[in-house]
């Protein structure tokens, strides 16, 4: 018993020092040297200043000149996160989706006359898990392209080319789903056709 206690005490100290401090600090050190950009949250710059992270979605609500991110339960918080927790059979979830559909149609239909409820991709009217999903589906981006091209007064084909350029395919062509990185797309837009 006494030997177990001694060894346990020593183990608590040794393991805390090596697994709890040496290991993560060493990984931090090596990461900061090898991958400084990635280790420090993949920041994106525009116009000489940092405007966000390519991995973290942002709020573009009320700015029709920009592509819109997916709905967020957290108001796109990058440091306090929680799930929306809408249940599969909940009345609140139905109301929430109805609201999102309504505002999506309100925003996009004036610029894409043939758009109907059936055409709306699910990602556009459901909350992401992280609240900061950096991507939208390609279908979602194609619909929004009509509005952005009209508001910015640039040809639709140009906007679609920018969408292609900022679409992340599946990793290694295999894993995950393709998606359009909204912040990178909006930065590309600003470069291509700045708002007056």
Looking at residues 87 to 126 of the shown chain, list those that interact with other proteins (rule: CB under 8 A).
Answer: 87-98, 101, 117-118, 120-123, 125-126
Distances 5 to 1, 14, 20, 118 between C-alpha atoms, Å: 6, 14, 21, 67
Total residues interacting with other proteins, rule: CB under 8 A = 111
User: 140 or 166, CB closer to other proteins?
Assistant: 140
Neighbours of 136 (CB within 10 A): 25
Q: Is 67 in the site for other proteins (CB under 8 A)?
A: no
DSSP conformation class of 111: G
Closest approach, Cβ 127 to other proteins, in A, equals 6
Closest approach, Cβ 113 to other proteins, in A, equals 19
User: 148 or 187, CB closer to other proteins?
Assistant: 187
| Binding piece for other proteins, criterion CB under 8 A, among 107-115, 136-144, 153-161 | 136-144
Residues of span 146-165 touching other proteins by CB under 8 A: none
For the chain, give me the number of helices (H) and strands (E)?
7, 5
Kindly provide the residue ranges of all beta strands, DSSP E only, lying in 33-151, ordered along the sequence: 43-46, 49-53, 135-136
Q: Is 73 in the site for other proteins (CB under 8 A)?
A: yes
| Binding piece for other proteins, criterion CB under 8 A, among 7-15, 107-115, 147-155 | 7-15
Closest approach, Cβ 147 to other proteins, in A, equals 15
Distances 191 to 6, 62, 64, 157, 159 between C-alpha atoms, Å: 65, 20, 17, 16, 12
Residues of span 25-54 touching other proteins by CB under 8 A: 25-28, 30-32, 34-35, 38-43, 46, 49-53
User: 38 or 155, CB closer to other proteins?
Assistant: 38
CB 170 within 8 A of CB 176: yes
Interatomic CA distance for residues 142 and 138, integer angstroms: 6
First and final C-alpha spacing in the chain? 77
CB 28 within 8 A of CB 38: no
Interface pick for other proteins out of 77, 150, 156, 192 (rule CB under 8 A): 77
Closest approach, Cβ 71 to other proteins, in A, equals 9
């Amino acid at each position: 018993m006494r030997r177990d206690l001694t060894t346990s005490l020593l183990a608590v100290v040794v393991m805390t020092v090596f697994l709890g401090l040496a290991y993560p600090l060493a990984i931090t050190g090596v990461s900061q040297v090898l991958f400084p950009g990635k280790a420090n949250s993949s920041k994106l710059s525009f116009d000489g200043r940092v405007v966000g992270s390519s991995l973290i979605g942002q709020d573009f609500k009320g700015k029709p000149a920009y592509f819109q991110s997916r709905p967020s339960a957290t108001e796109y918080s990058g440091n306090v996160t929680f799930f929306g927790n809408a249940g599969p059979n909940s009345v609140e979830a139905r109301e929430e989706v109805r609201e999102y559909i309504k505002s999506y149609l309100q925003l996009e239909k004036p610029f894409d006359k043939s758009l109907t409820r059936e055409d709306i991709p699910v990602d556009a009217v459901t909350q992401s898990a992280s609240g900061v999903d950096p991507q939208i589906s390609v279908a979602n981006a194609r619909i929004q392209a009509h509005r952005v091209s009209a508001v910015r007064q640039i040809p639709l084909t140009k906007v679609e080319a920018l969408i292609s350029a900022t679409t992340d395919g599946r990793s290694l062509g295999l894993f995950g789903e393709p998606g359009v990185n909204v912040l990178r797309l909006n930065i590309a837009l600003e470069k291509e056709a700045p708002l007056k």
